[in-house]
């Protein structure tokens, strides 16, 4: 695969992260535990995503009357969740970024063409001036992600201002996205072996949305 570490950021594979990923991959994990540990990973993903936003120098005065040379985020952000599974990541973003604006996008497979089709998009009116954290737990073929990114660009968001956050990715999906959008970034908790003959991520963790929300497909 041809991508750089600056394009695809994989979370440090600490023992804590590996243990949490093991729990959410286990088919026997109860829904409450699946939600709890998924939320923990999502929080780490959001924090890492924020690390890749530009900053500017900021000088503040401490309670001791001394100056401290620090930094501040440059520009405003918003989240955009790819419905339905991406909505599971919204609270993790809100936990880290107070009063963050969140948009939604619905993409489903067109039964006639078998291609991803945009059904719904609602974004903050000033989204073109914001850095956008695109939220979806799984990156499989990349079809939905590509359609979502294309839609954001149509709404005026520069490609380089988009960060795609997901829990599990596979090489095929990563390649499809970075080949088409070479200046955006992907932040993921792990990269799996690939896709099986049904285009499911292997070994994967099943249907994330169904397991998180407790519903059938």
Question: What is the set of domains in the chain, with CATH numbers?
Answer: 8-213 (3.40.50.2020)
Q: Is the pLDDT of residue 65 over 90?
A: yes
Identify the helix (H) or strand (E) that includes residue 195.
strand 194-195
Q: Is the pLDDT of residue 68 over 90?
A: yes
- Measured CA distances, 5 to 181, 184, 215 (Å): 15, 12, 36
pLDDT at 116: 86
Q: What angle do CA 141, 146, 157 make, to 5 degrees?
A: 155
Q: Mean pLDDT over residues 23-42, rounded?
A: 97
Q: Is the pLDDT of residue 206 over 60?
A: yes
pLDDT at 74: 84
Rounded CA Rg of the chain:
18
Confidence of residue 98 (pLDDT cuts 50, 70, 90): confident
Q: Mean pLDDT over residues 50-63, rounded?
A: 94
pLDDT at 2: 52
Q: What angle do CA 182, 186, 184 make, to 5 degrees?
A: 30
pLDDT at 4: 61
Q: Is the pLDDT of residue 204 over 80?
A: yes
Confidence of residue 114 (pLDDT cuts 50, 70, 90): low
HSE, CB side, 13 Å, CA atoms: give it for residue 19: 6
Q: Where are the beta strands (DSSP E) in 67-146?
A: 67-73, 77-83, 101-109, 116-122, 131-135, 138-139
What's the pTM?
0.92
CB count, 10 Å around CB of 186? 26
């Amino acid at each position: 695969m041809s991508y750089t570490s600056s394009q695809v950021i994989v979370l440090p594979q600490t023992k804590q992260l590996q243990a949490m990923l093991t729990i959410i991959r286990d088919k026997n994990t109860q829904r409450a535990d699946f939600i709890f540990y998924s939320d923990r990973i999502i929080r780490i993903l959001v924090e890492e995503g924020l690390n890749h936003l530009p900053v500017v120098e900021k000088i503040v005065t401490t309670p001791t009357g001394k100056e401290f040379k620090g930094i501040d985020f440059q520009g405003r952000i918003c989240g955009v969740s790819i419905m339905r599974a991406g909505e599971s990541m919204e609270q993790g973003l809100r936990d880290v970024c107070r009063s963050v604006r969140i948009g939604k996008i619905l993409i489903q497979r067109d039964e006639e063409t078998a291609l991803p089709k945009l059904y719904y998009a609602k974004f903050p009116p000033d989204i073109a001036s914001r850095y956008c954290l695109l939220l979806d737990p799984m990156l499989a073929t990349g079809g939905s992600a590509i359609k979502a990114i294309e839609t954001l660009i149509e709404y005026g968001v520069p490609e380089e201002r988009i960060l795609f956050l997901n829990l599990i990715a596979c090489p095929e999906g990563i390649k499809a996205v970075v080949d088409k959008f070479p200046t955006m970034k992907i932040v993921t908790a792990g990269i799996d072996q690939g896709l099986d003959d049904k285009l499911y991520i292997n070994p994967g963790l099943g249907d994330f949305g169904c397991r998180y929300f407790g519903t059938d497909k």
